Structure 1
Amino acid sequence: MQTLPKLNANILNIYVRPEIQLLLYCASTKRDAAKTEQIKSLIQLPNLDWQDVISQAYKHGLVPLLYTNLNTICKDDIPKEAINQIRHLSYANSQRNLVLCAELFKILHLLQEKDIKGVPYKGPILASTVYGNIALRPSGDLDIIVQQQHVLEFKKILISLGYQPLVELTQREEIAFLEAKSEHSYNFFHDEKKILVEIHWRVSPEYTSPIETKHFWSKLKPFPFAGITIHNLPLEDWLPILCVHGSRHRWERLIWLCDIAELLRTNPEVNWDYLIQVTTELDCKRMFFLGLFLAHHLLDVTLPVKVLRQIKADTEVVALSSDICQSLFTKDNHNPKFLGRTIFHMRVRERWQNKFLYFQSFLRWLMIVRK
């Protein structure tokens, strides 16, 4: 594999301030001598804004990786107040992840008792399988995928545990909700534990991507987790799903790119022809390419030449990557309004019928707002 050029103050012709450069160099479980030296150089800058570093790290889900790298490389060279704050946030994340992990174990065990396959999505499982440590990736809630026919049975299990739906629905409304193309998760909250559980039967709303459980359920394999055996996808099959998720949220958090980068580093023997074929069939190839291209430029991920050539051939991917970087690197960046997000989602789809499907969702939203 070729060695990529190291990060500098410009990515895709967009200036990257030192605080973000530091985060990018620390956004990995692996570091070489060159990255280590870059980190040491950056923390010596007299005008480095540590509160901006910490704020951006928290926003992008990078506090655990930032603390792990700084604590290993140069903890004595960092202002005491800053390193203590980063340490506190990192420890709090570890404690939260342990709580979520225990709750996930309990829920998966109850699903197994009902003979329901539940596939954890992101969260502690992703941290364990990709990062090798549940403490290295923040988990805000628990996302579990089941087949659509098991959603209501899963709901009963959550209610028995003290969870309540965020939105109360009548039986008729509930059926319509599960059938709606605009929906993909049924959300429940435990007020005492402060835990949100999202039941997924699709990866995202159908107007974002058509990926459903039927597209990958036959590929599930047993995976050991916390003393039980759960069902999980082979690592490379998570790549399109993670790229769809990141694109759905316009790659607003760097941790989603770290997921892609870490997965590729831990699973180098990727069947690229298979993934390109699958993403083409499901009309999410541009989302897939966008995630890869951003990880390549921002996190030093090495891609095969033939894959990189295909990505660059799609000029829309290059243009979208530049727009996303502009948002990520601007200090006081603001997320685009609904119309801007709609245009992005239309651009990231390749087939006109799917662009139109997303545009229809915008028109429905507009009609609701005008009422």
Structure 2
Amino acid sequence: MTAIVREEHSGFFCDEMALLQDLLRRNAEEASMDTDPFSAVDWSCFLKLAKNHRVYPVLSAYLNKKTTEIPDYVKAELNAESRYNRLKMLSLAAEMSRVSAHLASGNIRSLVLKGPLLAQDLYGDLSKRTSKDIDILIPAAKLDEARSLLAELGYECEKEQLPNVLNGWKWRHHHISFTHPSHSLQIEVHWRLAPGPGREPDFDDLWSRRREHSFGNGIVAYLGREDQFLYLVHHGARHGWFRLRWLCDIDVLARRELDWSSCAQLAVRYRTEHLVGQALILASQWFHTPVPRELEGFTSLKQASARIPQVLTFIRDSLEDAPPERVRAYERYLFAIKPRRQKLLYLLSLLYPYPMDAKTLPLPTTFHFLYFPLRPLLWIWRKLDRAGKPSLVKGGESKLL
């Protein structure tokens, strides 16, 4: 990526971003520091970038091992953030173990998707990756039971539940968030890996390839290596890779001995080969990540490189608290990265009633079928009635039209 920052896109990224990239690349390659001059660096900007991209834990660990010209107060602030993150991840780890055990006591199988377990698996230290919540995947049929079990532990649903119209939530959405009022820890319960419509492995397939890790007094299950790689690819792509932390994860996994042939087969089966190609192009440019031989063909796909310029903009400008024009660019990107069949399904899904239709015009359940012919009229009514400020929806889901 040094070539991208300093040559192909000279002036596109600031010097502080170039320095951040250099440090992360050297950490990935376990390389020593050069004697690069840092006199022109705005250290406040550098610290802000390290925090926004959630890479300060690995950055702090790397800088503590190297003699550099980086000011001591910069290292001290990175160390302070990392110490706080360690405490947060220890709390999440304890809660992850407790929640997984409680779900298991109710005969609910669960797979941890990210959080402390991912940090431990990728970096060998749960404090070297940040996480704001615990993501757990369960079978869709067990959602009501899981909700009851979480309530027993004191968790409350974070958002107002929209009306369920003709079971559209099962394929349109993919998770529900819960928060504990006393310690404010969050749990996202997933029944899909990503928002629908789209193809993805079913729970039983993922469960058959699961790994297990001992946490506390129990065993926590999580995704198999190849499933984890593909999940992180899809997750990062769906968020426009606007945090470098996601590319760091891809770099770590790409340097490992995975069953790359199996990974390639799964990517083709679920039509995500272009997203794998996109992830590997970005990682190789940013961190000199080696591309597994079995996946090299994916990086040559036109779809893999087509949205790289947009992604670089998201990395530079972020999608957090984005202004309306950047939100619209992100929504266009989300549609563009869908495979052709998924684009068609998405467009057809717009004709399917949304929960907002039931909020706009409540009807008895037996008459919900009327929302199909009424949907265009209800959509126009809402467009005329609201202020029209775009908002970026968490998780890359479509706005409720």
Give the TM bin, normalised by the shorter chain.
0.7 to 0.9
**Equivalent position SS for 1:224:** strand
AA in 2 matched with 1:298: W
1:296 paired to 2:284: yes
What is the CA–CA distance in structure 1 between the aligned matches of 2:350 and 2:84, rounded to whole Å?
39
Match of 1:164 among 156, 163, 169: 156
- What is the number of residues matched between the two proteins? 355
Per-residue deviation, residues 231-260 of structure 1 (Å, max 9, x unmatched): 222212211111111111111111111111
Q: 1:147 to 1:232 in 2, by over 3 A?
A: same
1:91 to partner: Cα distance: 0.9
Q: Which residue of 2 aligns with 1:58?
A: 51
Going from structure 1 to structure 2, the CA distance change for 1:99 and 1:315 (only over 3 Å counts) comes to same
TM-superposed deviation, 1:109: 1.4
Q: Distance in 2 between matches of 1:346 and 1:56?
A: 28
Give distance in 1, aligned partners of 2:26 and 2:202. 31
Aligned to 1:342: 331
Computing the radius of gyration from Cα coordinates, the structure with the larger value is: 2
CA distance in 2, matches of 1:226, 1:68: 25
- Paired residue for 2:33, among 24, 30, 37? 37
* Aligned equivalents of 2:319, 2:176: Cα separation in 1: 33
In the alignment, the residues of structure 2 paired with residue 135 and residue 28 of structure 1 have an alpha-carbon distance, to the nearest angstrom, of: 20
Q: Per-residue displacement from partner, 1:108-135 (whole Å, max 9, x unpaired)?
A: 1112222221111111110011111000
Tell me, what secondary structure is at the counterpart of 2:186? strand
What is the aligned partner in structure 1 of residue 121 from structure 2?
129
Change over 3 Å in CA distance of 1:150–1:253 after alignment to 2: same
Distance 1:225 1:194, change over 3 A: same
What's 2:67 paired with?
Answer: 74
Question: Helix, strand or coil for the counterpart of 2:73?
Answer: helix
Matched, 1:173 2:164: yes
Cα RMSD after superposing both structures? 2.9
Q: In structure 2, what is the Cα distance between the partners aligned to 1:182 and 1:12?
A: 42
What does residue 207 of structure 1 align with? 197
Contact 2:276/2:298, CA 8 A, preserved across alignment:
no
1:26 paired residue among 20, 23, 43: 23
Instruction: State the AA in 1 paired with 2:14.
Output: R
Flag the 1:243–1:331 CA change in 2: closer, same or farther, 3 A. closer
Please say if residues 29 and 65 of structure 1, whose CA atoms lie closer than 8 Å, have aligned partners that are also in contact: no
CA distance, structure 2, for counterparts of residue 57 and residue 125 of structure 1: 22
Determine helix, strand or coil for the equivalent of 1:316: helix
Distance, in Å, in 2 between the alignment partners of 1:148 and 1:330 is: 36
Distance 2:327 2:180 in 1: 30
- Within a 5 Å distance, the mapping from 1:1-371 to structure 2 comes to 7-8=2-3, 10=5, 13-15=8-10, 16-27=13-24, 30-32=27-29, 35-38=31-34, 40-41=35-36, 44-74=37-67, 77-169=69-161, 173=164, 176=167, 178-179=169-170, 181-207=171-197, 210-265=200-255, 267-268=256-257, 270-305=258-293, 307-312=295-300, 314-329=301-316, 334=322, 337-351=326-340, 353-359=341-347, 369-371=383-385
Unpaired runs of 5+ in structure 1? Answer: 1-5
Aligned to 1:3: none
If the length of structure 1 is used for normalisation, what is the TM-score? 0.85
Question: SS where residue 164 of structure 2 aligns?
Answer: helix
Q: Percent identity?
A: 23
Amino acid at match of 2:331: T
Q: Which moved more, 1:7-16 or 1:96-105?
A: 7-16
- Taking structure 2 as the reference length, the TM-score comes to 0.79
Determine if contact 1:27/1:66 at 8 Å carries over to the other structure: yes
Residues 86, 126 of structure 2: 8 Å contact kept: yes
Which amino acid letter does the alignment assign opposite residue 342 of structure 2? N
Single out whichever of 152-161 and 272-281 deviates more from structure 2.
Answer: 272-281
Matched residue SS, 2:45: helix
| Partner deviation per Cα, 1:264-301 (whole Å, 9 max, x = no partner) | 22x32x33332222112212221222112211111221
What SS does structure 1 have at the residue aligned with 2:144? helix
- C-alpha spacing 1:83/1:155, structure 2 compared with 1 (3 Å): same
8 Å contact kept, 1:184–1:205: yes
Deviations 1:325-344 (A, max 9, x none): 23323599957644423321
Contact preservation (8 Å) 1:252, 1:328: yes
